[in-house]
Structure 1
Amino acid sequence: MVDWRKRTVQSGDVTLAVFELGDEGAPPVMLVHGWPDTHHLWDQVAPALAKEFHVIAHDNRGAGESSRPGGVAGYHIAELADDLLTVADEVSPERPVHIVGHDWGSVLTWEAVSRHGAEKRIASFVSVSGPSLDQLGAWARENLSRPTPRRVATSLSQIASSAYTAFFHLPVAPRILLSFLGIPAVWRNFLKVTEGTPADRVSIAPTLRRDMISGVALYRANIVPHLSHPEPHPTTVPVLELVNHRDVALRPAIFEHTHRYVQRLWRRDTPTGHWLPHTHPEYLTEAARAFIGYQETGSLEKPAWSERTRLIGPPQAFSGRLAVVTGAGSGIGRETAYALAELGCEIVAADIDAVAAEETARECRAKTVPATAYALDVADSAGFAEFANTVQRDHGVPDIVVNNAGVGLAGGVLDATDEQIDRLLDINLRGVITGSRLFGRQMVERDLGGQIVNLASAAAFTPQRDLGVYSASKAGVLLFSESLRAELADHHIGVTAICPGIVDTAIVANTPIAGLGSDEQAARDRLVRFYQRRGFTPDKVARQIVAAIRSDKAVVPVTPEASVGYRIYRFAPWLSRQAARRRVAAPVPTRR
């Protein structure tokens, strides 16, 4: 139970119930709820913020312990924005307030921050699951006036998600439905079904049913006027936009034009749902705390967080995300780092060759994203653990991990030495398992999802007489990735196995060939020429990796021969076994 201090504030004809926590001399932070909530929405967020800030929450008009105007006219967002500023003036007359708004609380705060001179009263704004209706209307108009397949698809997706708003405009039906949905047990179950919200995390006011019914006026008073005649205005108030990709009501695409109206915009995308204050209060608290602290002091415990999440221009596919790539000093690893950097990721480039890793990081920084290089031997489990801890401490928990580092070994299994086999398995299999476990634990603990990409090979499902040990290591990566994918599915962490075929990379020139002795170098030179003639370059694999991350694919055979081999092994494995007996022209691993 939160021990709020209560007072009332008069805003025109409306009496607002205001609640406070924390030291009144600390920087003021206002928490603004939406429909059908009250200030109790913040019961899991406010106490943590109150350790550093003066926390203020109020019940919006028509909700909780505040007045309930009759009819629809009293619920225009301009009226609610006036209420917000009145509370701010009353509680913090000398100091501008920081605002965290959710749902309609965010919608009405957009109205407030877009007013002339808003920066004098509002120091910053954290927007959660609540767009500016005017910006949304302008976005919809642009999609309709210049339709493309993508715009049509995103518009239809948002229309489907917002269908309930049309229902709320009906005369009688909403009251009947909401009278039932407003039963606390029913509402808790609804949130559990739609977003997996644990029942014990949902703080509900005793006025829930009345709040649901009276709050319908918000939709009737604002949706049609603002969407049909949008008038978006710019703001100089710094804004952090938390975009939830599993939001049942709002699709991420509707926020793609926010940068046009916000002079200083930060953005974080996560696979979270609409009721973030219930489902992930720790994440919301930390994001708000860090952002508000940065606006207050100009400094941040993790400066990369600010660099990574600030938008200069439109958001990219992976804006604000952190990607760790091993084996990033060359080949597929380097090209994957470049591809992710171009899409907005901060890059942590790790490689056993520190100089090569720094070259990759330098090129990523030229793409205007933060990038840092680290020396890493993935076969050193203790060193890998230290690296993972350093990444978490200095950069945060990664959103994307690409376990790419690997080596090759060709020739007969009987000719390979124990040292060659141990090194191969330590890097190719144990290194992938170590990276997946270390960063997977961090992702699970953070509880915001993520993507782990493990580089296997077409050799994992195309047996060859000259690649026995290498094939075993890659088959292990493939089955490990499939198993880990099942284990982490409940945490919304995807795991992908990438299986390239013949790719022209530096690994070929460095691969030992067991059993050839003095003829090994000549054989390797022939193989290098063969791979070069094949002409499938690492950047093509990187593009497939990015596509797999976007769609969360389980297994991706990359090259044409990999795709054919994958299907043969699945549907006619005897053909694979027959082919394996033949001595191929190029018995060398096909990655990096």
Structure 2
Amino acid sequence: MSRSRQSAGQPAQEPRWREFTVTRDGVRLAAYELGDRSAPTVVLVHGWPDTHHLWTHVAPTLAERYHVVAYDTRGYGASDKPAGVHPYRLEECAADLFAVAEAADPSRPVHLVGHDWGSVQAWEAVTMPGSTERFASFTSVSGPSLDQLGAWVHDRLTHPTPTSVKQALSQAVSSAYTALFQIPVLPKIVLLPLSTRRSWSAFLHAVEGTPVENVTVAPSLRADMWSGLRFYRANIRRKLAHPNPTSTSVPVFQVVNTRDIALRPAIYSDTADYADRLWRKDCVSGHWLPYTNPDYLASVAGQFIDSVETTTPSPLIDRSRRRGPAKAFDGTLSVVTGAASGIGRETALLLAANGSEVVVADIDADGAQETATAIKERGGIGHAYPLDVSDPAALAAFAADVATTHGVADIVVNNAGIGLGGASLDATDDQIRRLVDINLIGVMTGSREFGRQMVRQGIGGHIVNLASAAAFTPQRGLGAYAATKAGVLLFSESLRAELASDHIGVTAICPGIVDTNIISATELTGLSESEQAAARARIDRAYQRRGYTPDKVAAAIVAAIDADKAVVPVTPEAVIGYRIYRFTPWLSRLGARAKVM
């Protein structure tokens, strides 16, 4: 292996790369670097049909703190293109990666960031002898270990279950193009219309919304497409037919793109079996994350590298660590308002039990702290904050504080709310204003503040707003309360439409009669204090007899997040009321005349 340096100009849109060459076994690899050579080194490895240009928008950010090296892997760009298929076996590519790492920084291990086939090559490298001496960490994006994938497929075929069969079929459909790539000549015909920068960027924009201006490719794109097919032919069949997965002690950070058109998230479910130290972050994004959201990729990869270099992980990296069996919301950050008791408390506990780190907030600071303590006692991570959601400035400051201290929330549950019963004409202006401030404006403010953060981050998220069956069940004595909840319902459905293109789900939860403490704090208009107390006690006893507990609503909330549902009536009466209001609204209006409180 040898290394030589030269200088060359770069196109205006490209970083000011410094070029050098790495040679291994007669194969010359074109390499490029940015940043201070005395800093820890990060090596970026591209996939098909890219070159080092893939990292145009990622490398400069990383180079602010690190020595960054990217290279055209064999067969691509300015690197040599050995004849035949055998030279493109992963063993050869991994040996190239060792050589580039040695040339980039001979004195210490380097950090790897790989995408697509670049990640596949890096997996091969970090599972080889000597990997821990050469590689300090590995950030894997949209590229599995082929040996691990082969073992995953074999396990699903030999131990079939309805879920595993569905997963295997889903991946088979997503991978169908790899079978096409095994056929001589035909792939070139199929790919020819995509082999210019304009057509390729238009294709990526069409399939996953990649900004056209972010797609940077080499002038050799067409030749790279053809040449890169040899990676598929040299490795896919033999690795999947005879997998030999090997574990690695190199710290691995797996960025899983849940909207990846080629690789389904399920294939990464067994990665923890092969990585001694594994971190994982799921993103509602597509395959070409380095183009679609380069700032986010640079941020999370940088945070992971920082954590390895300093042994002090950021909050995002800390909660991404896999410490046991996989859970549904591992690695996520949730915020739940009104979490001191009732539905909010049970939702916070259930999210934590499913792996999420949870920020619990309530005007009852002691109650919020009790919920956070309960989460910690059960092995989760919880943080308590005092919060009055009726104060928009306080809610905005809270959202900003959460982002600064813990990161951008993946899940937000706007649960805080109050009740108001009795005749609408007897309600005071103060009662109406307080009701609207908490139940409607508080929900809208929380959705807007946290929603803006999610949009800026660009990897999706989910917002849950607590409405009520009263939103679609008109009734005497609940007119004002029902109006706020109807507002929450329609606001949530409208917001869901607005945020769909950002892959942020919005759910309106509509419980009916649930045994919580909301009745004990509900004001009843037109009654004296003693009359209110007696009426509340009577209604509370009825709710207790109903026996529908908050944990059941929490289960519905968690299921709705997982399934990305728009509107969820929870209790039986809510489900019935929703159908009646939709199909026979006159019956709802007739029923509203019955006196319930």
TM-score (structure 2 length as normaliser): 0.96
Structure 2 counterpart of 1:413, one-letter code: S
1:555 aligns to 2:567 (yes or no): yes
Residue 48 of structure 1: how far off its partner (Å) = 1.1
SS at structure 1 position matched to 2:425:
coil
1:453 equivalent among 448, 457, 464: 464
SS at structure 1 position matched to 2:426:
coil
**Matched residue, 1:25:** 38
1:424 equivalent among 435, 441, 452: 435
1:471 equivalent among 479, 482, 493: 482
Whole-angstrom CA distance in 2 between matches of 1:81 and 1:278: 24
Whole-angstrom CA distance in 2 between matches of 1:270 and 1:288: 13
Residue 130 of structure 1: how far off its partner (Å) = 0.2
Whole-angstrom CA distance in 1 between matches of 2:430 and 2:104: 71
1:396 aligns to 2:401 (yes or no): no
Structure 2 counterpart of 1:439, one-letter code: F
SS at structure 2 position matched to 1:414:
helix
Whole-angstrom CA distance in 1 between matches of 2:581 and 2:543: 23
Residues 21-67 of structure 1, C-alpha deviations (whole Å, 9 max, x = no match): 11111100000001110001001111111111111111100000111
**Matched residue, 1:415:** 426
Residue 96 of structure 1: how far off its partner (Å) = 0.5
Whole-angstrom CA distance in 2 between matches of 1:100 and 1:367: 35
Whole-angstrom CA distance in 2 between matches of 1:415 and 1:563: 30
**Matched residue, 1:16:** 29
**Matched residue, 1:534:** 546
2:271 equivalent among 234, 238, 258: 258
Residue 383 of structure 1: how far off its partner (Å) = 1.0
Whole-angstrom CA distance in 1 between matches of 2:292 and 2:264: 18
1:49-128 pair list within 5 angstroms:
49-128=62-141
2:517 equivalent among 470, 481, 506: 506
1:306-385 pair list within 5 angstroms:
306-385=317-396
1:43 aligns to 2:78 (yes or no): no
1:210-249 pair list within 5 angstroms:
210-249=223-262
**Matched residue, 1:578:** 590
**Matched residue, 1:486:** 497
Whole-angstrom CA distance in 2 between matches of 1:490 and 1:175: 33
**Matched residue, 2:5:** none
TM-score (structure 1 length as normaliser): 0.97
Residue 176 of structure 1: how far off its partner (Å) = 1.7
Residues 387-422 of structure 1, C-alpha deviations (whole Å, 9 max, x = no match): 111001001111111000001111111222222222
Whole-angstrom CA distance in 2 between matches of 1:543 and 1:174: 48
SS at structure 2 position matched to 1:131:
coil
Structure 2 counterpart of 1:534, one-letter code: R
Whole-angstrom CA distance in 2 between matches of 1:305 and 1:370: 13
Answer whether contact 1:61 1:80 (CA < 8 A) is retained. yes
Residues 268-316 of structure 1, C-alpha deviations (whole Å, 9 max, x = no match): 111011001100000000011111011111124xx42232110112332
Equivalent residues, number: 583
Whole-angstrom CA distance in 1 between matches of 2:61 and 2:133: 26
Q: What percentage of residue pairs aligned between the two structures are identical?
A: 60
1:435 aligns to 2:446 (yes or no): yes
**Matched residue, 1:204:** 217
**Matched residue, 1:590:** none
1:267 equivalent among 280, 285, 291: 280
Whole-angstrom CA distance in 1 between matches of 2:246 and 2:141: 19
Structure 2 counterpart of 1:110, one-letter code: W
Answer whether contact 1:308 1:369 (CA < 8 A) is retained. no
Residue 487 of structure 1: how far off its partner (Å) = 1.5
Structure 2 counterpart of 1:283, one-letter code: Y
Residue 368 of structure 1: how far off its partner (Å) = 3.2
Residues 153-187 of structure 1, C-alpha deviations (whole Å, 9 max, x = no match): 11111000000000111122012222332122211
SS at structure 1 position matched to 2:494:
helix
Whole-angstrom CA distance in 2 between matches of 1:148 and 1:203: 43
Residue 91 of structure 1: how far off its partner (Å) = 2.0
Between 1:175-184 and 1:141-150, the stretch displaced more is 175-184
Whole-angstrom CA distance in 2 between matches of 1:394 and 1:437: 19
Whole-angstrom CA distance in 1 between matches of 2:495 and 2:203: 30
Residues 188-243 of structure 1, C-alpha deviations (whole Å, 9 max, x = no match): 11111111111110001011111111111111111111111111111110011000
Residue 372 of structure 1: how far off its partner (Å) = 0.5
Residues 116-154 of structure 1, C-alpha deviations (whole Å, 9 max, x = no match): 231111000000000001111111111111111111111
2:182 equivalent among 169, 178, 203: 169
Answer whether contact 1:307 1:370 (CA < 8 A) is retained. no
Whole-angstrom CA distance in 1 between matches of 2:95 and 2:348: 47
Q: Mind listing any 5+ residue stretches in structure 2 that lack a counterpart?
A: 1-13
Structure 2 counterpart of 1:393, one-letter code: T
Structure 2 counterpart of 1:576, one-letter code: S
Structure 2 counterpart of 1:496, one-letter code: T
